[in-house]
Structure 1
Amino acid sequence: MNIEYARKMVIAGRSLAAFQSPILDVGDFYRAAWVQAVSAIDHWFHEELYRRVADLAGQNSPNMPYQLTRFELPLEKVEEIRQGTTTLAGAVSDHVRAKWANASLQNPRKISEALKLVTEENIWAKAAAQINEWNHGRTAMTEQTLKKQYTAITERRNKIAHEADLLDGDLKQRRGITDADATDAIDWVERIALAIARILG
């Protein structure tokens, strides 16, 4: 997952903060880092989905997740399999990619829906437990609090990307942002991705 680019944006912002230029808002570097971090995890979720679906369909495993066994293929794909121009794994993989390519995986419900094709686990509950374990019980994340944390990060990303991070009802003033805010968001994105990767195996 390309999270390092987001971290470099924060470092660039910190480096320029000392200059106090009236024409340069270093907050924009932190906003760019925030957007990049969310884009990185969105891309990672997609790539994990495609790779794991291809692996599962290729194995013809009896332990395939229920949602993958119910996944519907269009008749043209069935015909390609019948004619031998593609394999079952190839057809399933292509169709999953076509279905999910333009879907944003920035909402916990959508992420759960996509990943049900590759795991029966409750990924948010398990990820929360994994984060608590890594923190040796100093945190008490639950499925709901972890989803809320992730949603807060993606909602701020949407405000930055779609509303120029302007305060509600104000067309001139933007929300404040610091290097610490951006770093915290990036750390959470990485933590969540690592925890989910651990559950996926």
Structure 2
Amino acid sequence: MSQVEHTDLYRAAWVQAVSALDHWLHREIVSRAIVIINDRPAPRPDRLKAYTVSWATVEDMQNRSIDDVMSEHMTERLGRDSYQKPDRIAEGLQYVTHKKQGQIWREVAQIILPQRTVDEIKQRQTEIADRRNKIAHEADIDHLTGTRRPITAPQTAATIDWIESLGLAIRSVLN
């Protein structure tokens, strides 16, 4: 019979928090893109203007609503992207904002921790995503020692709080 260590629950919470951010960003980007697509006179962000669809997708729009077709298409295509690390997050957001990557992160940093630099904010998110990947893909084992990396309840709670703050800051930047 195997036993679950309490640290396994911290690891699961860490992975789930990062996955929740990634999932929310995908849904947020697609839903905002559909609003922009339907706002005909509004200028489109460059990344959305450059978004391409196949002829089959265009033909599908003859029988179904553009909203439904584009929502499905973007969900499927963007589903291949990971919105966990800062540059990838900013790339995804550029479908729905005219702001460039640097501006997005400057504004996020001002909301989350104004006393910190943009690089510090991005580094923190990168570290969280990297740790998530070590947990999910390497069982959180330190290859030098062959043992699992330490993890604590306060570290995990701080990570979850960070991700919540990041999501709120991103929403604020987009509004």
Q: Same fold (TM over 0.5)?
A: yes
Q: Which residue of 1 aligns with 2:58?
A: 78
Q: Which residue of 2 aligns with 1:95?
A: 73
How many Å separate the matches in 2 of 1:157 and 1:52?
27
Q: Over aligned residues, Cα RMSD in angstroms?
A: 1.9
Higher relative contact order (CA 8 A, sep 6+): 2
Deviation at 1:24, TM superposition (A): 4.5
The correspondence for 1:188, drawn from 154, 158, 162, is 162
Give the count of matched residue pairs.
Answer: 171
**1:30 and 2:5 are equivalent in the alignment:** no
Taking structure 2 as the reference length, the TM-score comes to: 0.89
The correspondence for 2:112, drawn from 108, 122, 131, is 131
Question: Is the contact made by 1:54 and 1:90 (CA closer than 8 Å) also made in structure 2?
Answer: no
The verdict on how the C-alpha distance between 1:86 and 1:163 changes in structure 2, with shifts beyond 3 A counting, is: same
**1:108 and 2:89 are equivalent in the alignment:** no
Could you report, residue by residue, the CA deviation over 1:148-187 in whole angstroms, capped at 9, with x for unpaired residues?
Answer: 110100111111111111123233x211111111011111
Q: Which runs of 5+ in 2 are unaligned?
A: none
Q: Which residue of 2 aligns with 1:148?
A: 123
Deviation at 1:94, TM superposition (A): 2.7
Residues 59-78 of structure 1 aligned to structure 2 (within 5 Å): 59-78=39-58
Could you report, residue by residue, the CA deviation over 1:60-115 in whole angstroms, capped at 9, with x for unpaired residues?
Answer: 2422212112211211122233xx21344444333221211132211222111111
Could you report, residue by residue, the CA deviation over 1:19-57 in whole angstroms, capped at 9, with x for unpaired residues?
Answer: xxxx55211111111111101101111110111111111
Residues 4-23 of structure 1 aligned to structure 2 (within 5 Å): 23=3
Rg larger for: 1
How many Å separate the matches in 1 of 2:45 and 2:53?
16
Q: Which runs of 5+ in 1 are unaligned?
A: 1-22, 133-138
Deviation at 1:131, TM superposition (A): 1.7
Taking structure 1 as the reference length, the TM-score comes to: 0.78
Q: Which residue of 2 aligns with 1:118?
A: 96
The share of aligned pairs that are identical, in percent, is 36
Question: Is the contact made by 1:50 and 1:96 (CA closer than 8 Å) also made in structure 2?
Answer: yes
